[in-house]
Chain A
């Protein structure tokens, strides 16, 4: 009897195993030339383009939705749902002509009214978006976001079925690039009306991109299939795309090596050396639109009113050692805050090219001028959010400070949310680690957070000249002059040194040799519609 029960129990458990949703792809080496397996970092928070944030989500949304403007494999802009556009001479009005054959996945035409509805929805506070402030360049957007004006007052109008007009608050050279952001993607009004906040789920979601949402098993995968109604469907070669949320880079690498992924979201730091030796041709390290730095709370001692002291601390940090020996992930040493951008002149301070001995000498002088010395060394706290990488970086910096200036640094690691709260409140925090990823390839995306009243200015820095320049750049119609203003603002800010730039981020990926059409780019955007798989190379594996 007991054996019977046991057998029944076993049988039950085994059949339970077989009842999971069927996928035609088993894990292992069964890879088909029309199926793409992408490692995708974290679980998407939402597939509703107006509510989501985070890179893992937007990678999926880039396949599902076509914004007005798309990106090519190298990251340059190309027409998306809009076939062409005109910009007025004062650069404050944009006119978009939609693709004549643009369709939703249920066959409805994509109209200018759809875009009007979507932009209003994105800005409407009732949508509960946490990214709506990115729409601020559009006229009246800020008032709509704050709830002071109705969504209808947003300056986005449909002139006819296929013509869309935007009026902007000021000349915004990065406006086209902004239109690749998920906040600007169109949503299908009838299905939003029908399903409400649950419209972005399999079975309900109607989208206009190259792929359709087929399956979403939370924490397991998101499966997309090719949209046969997509206007360029004949050019889309991958039929099925799997996105796997894999948080641990080590796990991701193992699954990649076992042949279960075509590319990884990132690469574990600790195994870079092994990869460089064993799979060098599959490793792709490329500049990424992000800056890693230390910030000072300039509102409290010991760093209030001490630009010289702050500069001294910056001068003695050897960025080469930091990026080569400590992080070792291909990061680029940074002496300026804004990463390399098209047409923008990087603002590297003069001392960056001095030999280290000279830098230390000058730093000691500044350190003494600030009232510190061997007998009276600076005692400070440096906070970072708990992470092995941040710990190593902060430890190395503290050692450099101690060795050159005799600074005594107490390292404090805090759980992420605690760290953020302390950093924002600017009361207990003295110095902190920070990083900033730009939303678009323009220096403004970086400079804005150092504007005195900006919500993300965690240093408390208020530079009158910097504020003036940033404000003036927002209304400057000439792009070259505007970039110069922002460059001046950056240089002026760096002279005050409320932050210490350390390095620029890079994207790190493993990509299988048979994946073609993939190119590294600054934004790390890789829409699946550009990708194809070279079967001959696959056979060789």
Chain B
């Protein structure tokens, strides 16, 4: 297992390098630059700025400079947020996104797996139909519709919860964003769980377990749940990486200072260093989470051996 993990670790480097190169040259290929605005700059000033940020060098040299910076943990200065470095921006945004995303994923797994299993155990019953239609709705209603509705109801009309911001970081400020983030995940996870649970319940080893007289609770929890969770686990890897790096929609609607906005705003502003920083960070997380998923597989499925 350790050996496998080490091999994967080595394999991750070329992947990341390709990712960095692609992102670097693609964002540079986009028309326009960080200093274009409705009020464009006099040419001398723009030339001066470009020289200061090394944008006047050949692209390949800039790439080399960027890679050297990365090896020293330096993502460079942000073009847009001039008082901060990209590293600082990521380090202030990520804890917020991690907290929100972590809570949302936890909620999604607990509720999604329970609801999905329940639906599978009572297949084609009213419970099943109810869970599945709720989850279908959850998948179909995008969160930019759901979130403002939740705010309108709970913050504007009822006044129970704040409408936005992190306030003093109290739990009340987290409730709505966490629920909005979790809803589509709950829907997806419950459907995945139901599908795979139904399949597992029909397999031979479950029949054997029942035949030898095990109580249904043990059959479900010890024998069926683990293999039924395999598809969920493989979904969870990239999904968790996605959710904990922030959602631009949720962050904009709730005024949450997370990482997600930097993705979109960085790209729109041609804030090259910020976009690169977020892409590299996200890339590393994806690689790490995929590795974790593969290792968890071995724990859940006795057939998987590394």
When C-beta atoms are compared, the residue in chain A nearest to B249 turns out to be A248
Tell me, yes or no, whether A92 is within 8 Å of chain B by CB. Answer: no
Q: Which residues of B contact A201 (CB under 8 A)?
A: 83
Interface pair B167/A46, CB less than 8 Å apart: no
Interface pair A16/B99, CB less than 8 Å apart: yes
Interface pair A130/B163, CB less than 8 Å apart: no
Complex interface: stretch among A20-28, A172-180, A294-302, A359-367: A20-28
Chain B 68-103, CB within 8 Å of chain A: the 1/0 string?
000000000000111110000100110100010011
Q: Which residues of A contact B48 (CB under 8 A)?
A: 125, 128, 147
Q: Which residues of B contact A21 (CB under 8 A)?
A: 168-169
Complex interface: stretch among B5-13, B29-37, B118-126, B131-139: B29-37
Chain B 250-265, CB within 8 Å of chain A: the 1/0 string?
0111111110010000
Interface pair B165/A133, CB less than 8 Å apart: no
Q: Among B31, B44, B255, which residue has its beta carbon within 8 angstroms of that of A246?
A: B255
Q: Which residues of B contact A417 (CB under 8 A)?
A: 30-33, 36, 268, 270
Q: Which residues of A contact B204 (CB under 8 A)?
A: none
Complex interface: stretch among A94-102, A252-260, A341-349, A520-528: A252-260
Q: Which residues of A contact B2 (CB under 8 A)?
A: none
Tell me, yes or no, whether A200 is within 8 Å of chain B by CB. Answer: yes
The residue in B89, B99, B106, B268 that gathers the most chain A C-beta atoms within 10 A of its C-beta is: B99
Tell me, yes or no, whether B52 is within 8 Å of chain A by CB. Answer: yes
Complex interface: stretch among B152-160, B185-193, B195-203, B277-285: B152-160
Q: Which residues of B contact A455 (CB under 8 A)?
A: 40-43
Interface pair A145/B44, CB less than 8 Å apart: yes
Tell me, yes or no, whether A351 is within 8 Å of chain B by CB. Answer: no
Q: Which residues of B contact A130 (CB under 8 A)?
A: 35, 37, 41, 45, 49
Interface pair B163/A258, CB less than 8 Å apart: yes
Interface pair A197/B31, CB less than 8 Å apart: no
When C-beta atoms are compared, the residue in chain B nearest to A414 turns out to be B31
Q: Which residues of A contact B113 (CB under 8 A)?
A: none
Instruction: Please report which residues of chain A, range 99-135, place their CB below 8 angstroms from some CB of chain B when the two chains form the complex.
Output: 125, 128-130, 132-133
Interface pair B168/A20, CB less than 8 Å apart: yes
Tell me, yes or no, whether B174 is within 8 Å of chain A by CB. Answer: yes
**Complex Cα–Cα for A17 and B174 (A):** 8
Interface pair A254/B151, CB less than 8 Å apart: yes
Tell me, yes or no, whether A392 is within 8 Å of chain B by CB. Answer: no
Q: Nearest Cβ in chain A — how far from B82, in angstroms?
A: 4
Tell me, yes or no, whether A47 is within 8 Å of chain B by CB. Answer: yes
Tell me, yes or no, whether B148 is within 8 Å of chain A by CB. Answer: yes
Q: Nearest Cβ in chain A — how far from B27, in angstroms?
A: 11
The DSSP consensus for interface residues of chain A is loop
Interface pair B168/A254, CB less than 8 Å apart: no
**Complex Cα–Cα for A146 and B270 (A):** 25
Q: Interface size for chain B: under 10, 10 to 19, 20 to 34, or 35 or more residues?
A: 35 or more
Q: Among B169, B253, B268, which residue has its beta carbon within 8 angstroms of that of A248?
A: B253
Interface pair A251/B253, CB less than 8 Å apart: yes
**Complex Cα–Cα for A438 and B33 (A):** 24
Q: Nearest Cβ in chain A — how far from B36, in angstroms?
A: 5
When C-beta atoms are compared, the residue in chain B nearest to A221 turns out to be B165
Instruction: Please report which residues of chain A, range 384-440, place their CB below 8 angstroms from some CB of chain B when the two chains form the complex.
Output: 415-418, 420-422, 424, 435
Interface pair A255/B163, CB less than 8 Å apart: yes
Interface pair A456/B39, CB less than 8 Å apart: yes
**Complex Cα–Cα for A257 and B155 (A):** 9
Tell me, yes or no, whether A66 is within 8 Å of chain B by CB. Answer: no
Tell me, yes or no, whether B242 is within 8 Å of chain A by CB. Answer: no
Q: Nearest Cβ in chain B — how far from A162, in angstroms?
A: 31
Interface pair B106/A48, CB less than 8 Å apart: no
Interface pair B103/A217, CB less than 8 Å apart: no
Q: Among A13, A133, A251, A418, which residue has its beta carbon within 8 angstroms of that of B102?
A: A13
Q: Which residues of A contact B169 (CB under 8 A)?
A: 17-22
**Complex Cα–Cα for A48 and B59 (A):** 30
Tell me, yes or no, whether B164 is within 8 Å of chain A by CB. Answer: yes
**Complex Cα–Cα for A83 and B263 (A):** 47
Chain A 239-278, CB within 8 Å of chain B: the 1/0 string?
0000011111011001101111000000000000000000
Interface pair A133/B45, CB less than 8 Å apart: yes
Chain A 181-203, CB within 8 Å of chain B: the 1/0 string?
00000000000000001101100
**Complex Cα–Cα for A207 and B32 (A):** 35
The residue in B33, B41, B43, B256 that gathers the most chain A C-beta atoms within 10 A of its C-beta is: B41
Interface pair A46/B36, CB less than 8 Å apart: no
Interface pair A16/B95, CB less than 8 Å apart: yes
Tell me, yes or no, whether A1 is within 8 Å of chain B by CB. Answer: no
Known: A43-B81, A146-B44. A218 touches B165 (CB 8 A): no
**Complex Cα–Cα for A43 and B261 (A):** 11
Instruction: Please report which residues of chain B, range 260-305, place their CB below 8 angstroms from some CB of chain A when the two chains form the complex.
Output: 261, 268, 270
Interface pair A420/B40, CB less than 8 Å apart: yes
When C-beta atoms are compared, the residue in chain B nearest to A131 turns out to be B39
**Complex Cα–Cα for A335 and B38 (A):** 22
Q: Which residues of A contact B170 (CB under 8 A)?
A: 17-18, 26
**Complex Cα–Cα for A14 and B169 (A):** 10
When C-beta atoms are compared, the residue in chain B nearest to A435 turns out to be B38
Q: Which residues of A contact B256 (CB under 8 A)?
A: 219-220
**Complex Cα–Cα for A130 and B41 (A):** 7
Q: Which residues of A contact B106 (CB under 8 A)?
A: 9-10, 13
Interface pair B167/A26, CB less than 8 Å apart: yes
Interface pair B159/A28, CB less than 8 Å apart: yes
Q: Nearest Cβ in chain B — how far from A82, in angstroms?
A: 28
Tell me, yes or no, whether B234 is within 8 Å of chain A by CB. Answer: no
Q: Which residues of A contact B35 (CB under 8 A)?
A: 130
Q: Nearest Cβ in chain A — how far from B85, in angstroms?
A: 9
Q: Which residues of B contact A52 (CB under 8 A)?
A: 82
Interface pair B49/A128, CB less than 8 Å apart: yes
**Complex Cα–Cα for A17 and B166 (A):** 10
Q: Which residues of A contact B62 (CB under 8 A)?
A: none
Tell me, yes or no, whether B173 is within 8 Å of chain A by CB. Answer: yes
Interface pair A260/B164, CB less than 8 Å apart: yes
Known: A219-B257, A255-B255, A421-B31. A416 touches B268 (CB 8 A): yes
Q: Nearest Cβ in chain A — how far from B11, in angstroms?
A: 29
Interface pair B258/A219, CB less than 8 Å apart: yes
Tell me, yes or no, whether A281 is within 8 Å of chain B by CB. Answer: no
Tell me, yes or no, whether A29 is within 8 Å of chain B by CB. Answer: yes
Q: Which residues of A contact B227 (CB under 8 A)?
A: none
Tell me, yes or no, whether B171 is within 8 Å of chain A by CB. Answer: yes
**Complex Cα–Cα for A281 and B156 (A):** 19
Query: Could you list which residues of chain A lie within 8 angstroms of chain B, going by C-beta atoms?
Result: 9-10, 13-14, 16-29, 43, 45-48, 51-53, 125, 128-130, 132-133, 145-147, 197-198, 200-201, 217-221, 244-248, 250-251, 254-255, 257-260, 415-418, 420-422, 424, 435, 455-456
Could you give 21 example pairs across A and B, Cβ below 8 Å? A16-B95, A18-B170, A25-B167, A27-B173, A28-B162, A52-B82, A53-B37, A53-B39, A129-B45, A146-B44, A147-B48, A218-B81, A219-B251, A219-B256, A219-B261, A254-B148, A417-B31, A417-B270, A420-B36, A424-B40, A435-B38
Query: Could you list which residues of chain B lie within 8 angstroms of chain A, going by C-beta atoms?
Result: 30-33, 35-45, 48-49, 52, 80-84, 89, 92-93, 95, 99, 102-103, 106, 148, 151-152, 155-156, 159, 162-174, 251-258, 261, 268, 270
The 9 residue pairs across chains A and B that have the minimum distance between CB atoms: A417-B32, A20-B169, A27-B162, A219-B257, A258-B163, A220-B257, A46-B82, A27-B167, A258-B155
Given contacts A20-B166, A217-B257, 15 further A-B contacts (CB under 8 A): A9-B106, A16-B95, A17-B103, A21-B169, A23-B167, A25-B168, A45-B80, A125-B45, A198-B83, A254-B155, A255-B164, A257-B156, A258-B159, A420-B38, A420-B40
